[in-house]
Amino acid sequence: MQQLIKTNFAFTANENDPVRKKIGVLIKDGVINIVDSWENLSHLSDPTIDVIDAGNYTLMPGLIDCHVHVNTSGDPAEKESEYDEIRFTAAKTTLYALRNVQRHTEMGVTAIRDMGCRDWVAPAIRDSIYAGWYKGPRMVVAVRGITSTGGHMDVYKLIRPDWPTVDTMGCIADGPDEGRRAVRTQIRDGADVIKINATISEYVRATGGECTPEMTFDTMKAICDTAHALGKRVAAHCHGGPGVRDAIEAGVDTFEHGYFIDDDLMEEMVKRDRFLTPTMSALHCPLDNNDLGTEPALLKWYKITLPAMMGEVKRAKKHGVKILAGTDAGMPYVWHGMISQEMIYFEKYGLTNLEALASATRVAADGLGMKDKIGQIKAGLFADLIMVNGDPTKDLTVLQKKENIVFVMQGGEILIDRR
Amino acid sequence: MYVIEAGLMIDGTGEEPIPGCSVMVKEGRIFQIEKTTHFQLPEDIEVIDAHHLTLMPGMIDCHTHLHFPGGPDINNSYSMLALTESQSYLTILSIDNIQKDLRMGFTTLRVLGTPFYIDVAIRRAIEEGLVIGPRLKVAGQGICVTGGHMDKADWSPDVFVNGRTGVGDGPWGCRVAAREQLKYGADLLKINACGGSHNLNEPWHQEMTYEEMAAVIEEAHWAGKRVAAHAHGGKGITDAILAGLDSIEHGLWLTEEQAKMMAEHNVYYVPTLSTHTRGLELGKVGSGSSEEGWKWLVKACEDRWVSLERAKKAGVKVCLGTDAGFWMYHGENALELEEFVRAGYTPMEAIKAATILGAENLDIANITGSISVGKYADLILVDGNPLEDIKILQKPNNIVQVYKEGRPIK
């Protein structure tokens, strides 16, 4: 099956020529076959080729959100109680998560990376989309996040101590041996990527800003070695400091949040070809919605974290760190589908429009280990393409409105066509 | 808001006491300190006439056990309490105990081992104003190796008692125990480095390896918290210091070398003189000691003065701790000051050990431990001058009033 998309204007996300005019994209069986000027392709007269005219819409690669949590919606109005985590059955969590995942498609996001879910919903939804049961983005999933006893993803610290602990979103692992087992378990259960927790904000607060580790170096090394041997990358929730230094040394591939990663560590990350996912939305969206809560300890935390977050991308750009766009969707006020918001923050705080767009396309694909599969309009990659009413290379805000996402194609399959 | 006009003010830092001193308290904190003759009294302010009394900082007991009731029976019953008593009963008993400490002027307590995290619950209840009590810094269940000092089992091996002590073996086992205590709310960690031994030539034995202690200490320090160790003597103390320990409890047999290391590494020393003195007073039967245990206690009571002297000479910071609840009843905590004086400390040095040095050991010297502007108004009004007779602090009638964060207790 062949399709030929004609467009006056395209953001290709290629490193050279990211913006092209009057091109055609020939797609064969869901994979981009040729990208060339329309002049050179317009002569193709095979009647079986489906010609799709983008007119004046901007053609671009489908967007990628590198950090989501599918089982929470982020919309405070959709939260039923403080204890949804334990009140929802697995079935309800799955249906709720499917709805969250489909919100990405609506906004032109054709790939997402889930960084920790409950009840194995992420791999199940991924597989159901792949099998064609439901429409939705490509999914790279971590299954459970690996954490220390009492660590960031050990939610049982909120429950009375004599209650039996059951792994939920976090898989508790203390030490290299348990770390290895945790990696193998997540992969057995369908993980494409391994998520760990390298530092915990409670410790950063308690030490007055020193980002002490949540996991020992030995544990993270065992996790990374095991994951890499099985062909999977490792993402670490982190803030900065010795915990990040250990994580870099241990082999962690992508660093999530990292608000306090200093210049030395950024240099190290560049040397070793690692990625940074600032997730500015995680802090900026609650700020924009005037809801940082009222807990004094948390407000004190925000006082140091907000400015650190705002300075992060500029410093990362200066050092040449590869920046990934990820929202932390599912956190309060971080809706699923709003990767555009993350790019807008990037632009506000130091990246150019094109750099912001690259972080949610070409660079994001690279960070996910899929640079030969998605993220650019380029021969050999999947036809994950969207058409946008407006020019995001000049104005990222056009991506924020659902009605501007007029066409979404994934692997050649048209999921949305509102032209 | 009020002003205390005190006959004498001892601020707890070791500075000369100020006769005729006024201290203004505003919103629970010390707002102003000035000689009464120079003090500009704001209009309509409540004035507390303490011209015949001594004002000093609220005291700090660095070594207490909430749920132990004190008295002679304790030696034979303490390990059973978690087995025979419900959490609820122990919680109520604990609150009663610490209110006794508070009424005797101990406005802050460090709690070094309680079952079931009831210490965390009580600390929180006090912070939230549900119940009146001293400020607590709690160590949770403590961490100990299988069969160690805090894991004594006087019952059949097939009886399992959960939640009494954090038991960890090996560096990872101990690290997980540390993580668990921190997870459920411990403010600091307590480990058992070495226990006592009946071999009188070497009356201690090491319980935790260097690696085990280092794992716990690293985990605590990552969480911004400190570690105290029950430790009597020998290599276990040296290993603990090298592993980064913050406070040594009992430390009956310190070598000169160890005392120097403690000073170098800023390790605090809580000798708990009063508990062993009380044991000795109770006698062999009264203290519930076995034949060998009694000999050990007698030797400990003789040798400890040497350790204290070595610590003093090396410049180690020594703090008040009583093991309150063990042989000592809650409320008798001020005996430790008398013991310090008996050991050759001046009353002022004893008061420092009971106030500012304890605050430093607990890492709360920024909010309490001395009468200083900005700190909480943790205060005691004493009938008499403790610098002249340190024993008056042990008499309930001489503790005229206690303030915790500015709030009067009696």
Q: Using a CB-CB distance cutoff of 8 angstroms, which residues of chain B are in contact with residue A213?
A: 222
The pLDDT value given to residue A357: 98
Distance of alpha carbon B118 from the chain centroid: 18
More confident residue, A347 or A201: A347
Task: Indicate the DSSP class of residue A48.
Answer: T
Residues A352 and A402 in one domain: no
- Residue-wise pLDDT tens digits, A116-159: 999 999 999 999 999 999 999 999 999 999 999 999 999 888 88
Q: Is the dihedral of CA A226, A229, A230, A231 positive or negative?
A: positive
**B396: pLDDT strictly greater than 70:** yes
A106, A255, B374 from A66: Cα distances, Å: 17, 11, 47
Distance of alpha carbon A113 from the chain centroid: 5
Q: Which of B116, B162, B179 sits opposite A148 (nearest CB)?
A: B179
Read off the amino acid at residue A334: V
Residues A37 and A148 in one domain: no
SS (H, E, C) A223-290: HHHHHHHCCCEEEEEEEEHHHHHHHHHHCCCEEEEEEECCHHHHHHHHHCCCEEECCHHHHHHHHHCC
Q: Using a CB-CB distance cutoff of 8 angstroms, which residues of chain A are in contact with residue B163?
A: 161-162
The pLDDT value given to residue A296: 87
H or E stretch at B134: none
- Closest of A348, A263, A333, A248 to residue A291, by C-alpha: A333
What are the residue ranges of helices labelled H in B223-290?
235-242, 256-264, 273-286
* CATH assignment of the domain containing A389: 2.30.40.10
Minimum Cα–Cα distance from A178: chain B residue:
B172
The pLDDT value given to residue A80: 85
Residues A390 and A359 in one domain: no
Q: Do B117 and A161 touch (CB under 8 A)?
A: yes
Lowest-pLDDT choice from A133-137, B143-147, B208-212: B143-147
Q: What is the value of pTM for the model shown?
A: 0.88
Q: What does the alpha-carbon distance between residue B217 and residue B209 come to, in Å, rounded to a whole number?
A: 12
Q: Using a CB-CB distance cutoff of 8 angstroms, which residues of chain A are in contact with residue B176?
A: 149, 174-175
Query: Looking at CA atoms only, how far is residue B215 from chain A in angstroms?
Result: 10
A377, B265, B307, B318, B345 from B313: Cα distances, Å: 77, 15, 10, 11, 12
Instruction: Provide the β-strand partners of residue B137.
Output: B110
Report residue A112 as tokens: 């997402």
A74 CB neighbour count, 10 Å cutoff? 25
Residues A329 and A234 in one domain: yes
Residues A155 and A52 in one domain: no
Residues A321 and A245 in one domain: yes
Q: Do B116 and A162 touch (CB under 8 A)?
A: yes
Please state the domain extents for chain B.
2-57+369-408, 59-333
What is the pLDDT averaged over residues B168-178?
96
- Residue-wise pLDDT tens digits, A25-81: 999 999 999 999 999 988 887 888 999 999 999 999 999 999 999 999 999 999 888
Q: What is the ipTM of this complex?
A: 0.79
Report residue A86 as tokens: 């334990």
Q: Do B179 and A150 touch (CB under 8 A)?
A: yes
Q: Using a CB-CB distance cutoff of 8 angstroms, which residues of chain B are in contact with residue A205?
A: 224
**In CATH, B2-57+369-408 is 3.30.590.10:** no
Q: Would you list the DSSP string of A121-163?
A: HHHHHHHHHHTTSS---EEEE-SSEEE-TTSTT-GGGGS-TTS
The pLDDT value given to residue B131: 97
Residues A101 and A182 in one domain: yes
- Mutation pick from A210, A216, A295 vs chain B, by most beta carbons of B within 10 Å, is A216
B residues 151..190 contacting A (CB < 8 A): 162-163, 172, 175-176, 179-180, 182-184
Q: What does the alpha-carbon distance between residue A285 and residue A351 come to, in Å, rounded to a whole number?
A: 19
Size (chain A), residues: 419
H or E stretch at B102: helix B87-103
Band of residue B215 on the pLDDT scale cut at 50, 70, 90: very high
Band of residue B142 on the pLDDT scale cut at 50, 70, 90: very high
What is the pLDDT averaged over residues B26-37?
97
**B50: pLDDT strictly greater than 80:** yes
The pLDDT value given to residue A159: 81
Letter string b/e over residues A385-403, b meaning 16 or more CB atoms within 10 A of that residue's CB: bbbbbbbbbeebebbbeee
Residues A162 and A260 in one domain: yes
Residues 6+ apart with CB under 8 A from B16: none
| Counted domains in chain A | 2
Average pLDDT, chain B: 95
Q: Which of B116, B175, B222 sits opposite A203 (nearest CB)?
A: B222
**A88: pLDDT strictly greater than 90:** no
Minimum Cα–Cα distance from A218: chain B residue:
B172
Q: Which of A157, A207, A208 sits opposite B184 (nearest CB)?
A: A157
Band of residue A167 on the pLDDT scale cut at 50, 70, 90: low
Looking at the complex, does the CB of residue A352 fall below 8 Å from at least one CB of chain B? no
Residues A137 and A247 in one domain: yes
Looking at the complex, does the CB of residue B221 fall below 8 Å from at least one CB of chain A? yes
The domain in which residue A11 lies consists of 2-61+376-417
Percent of chain B whose predicted confidence (pLDDT) is above 90: 90
The pLDDT value given to residue A45: 76
**B303: pLDDT strictly greater than 70:** yes
B142 CB neighbour count, 10 Å cutoff? 28
Q: What does the alpha-carbon distance between residue A235 and residue A247 come to, in Å, rounded to a whole number?
A: 10
Looking at the complex, does the CB of residue A203 fall below 8 Å from at least one CB of chain B? yes
Looking at the complex, does the CB of residue B397 fall below 8 Å from at least one CB of chain A? no
Q: Using a CB-CB distance cutoff of 8 angstroms, which residues of chain A are in contact with residue B223?
A: 202-203, 206-207, 212
Residues A114 and A154 in one domain: yes
Distance of alpha carbon B17 from the chain centroid: 25
Q: Do B183 and A212 touch (CB under 8 A)?
A: no
Residues A355 and A403 in one domain: no
**B159: pLDDT strictly greater than 90:** no
Residues A180 and A222 in one domain: yes
Report residue A37 as tokens: 């000027």
- Residue-wise pLDDT tens digits, B93-112: 999 999 999 999 999 999 99
Domain B59-333 belongs to what topology? TIM Barrel (3.20.20)
Report residue B126 as tokens: 């006090």
Report residue A318 as tokens: 């200066």
What is the pLDDT averaged over residues A271-294?
96
A7, B2, B25, B225, B331 from B59: Cα distances, Å: 79, 21, 18, 22, 12
Q: What does the alpha-carbon distance between residue A365 and residue A373 come to, in Å, rounded to a whole number?
A: 8
What is the pLDDT averaged over residues B15-36?
97
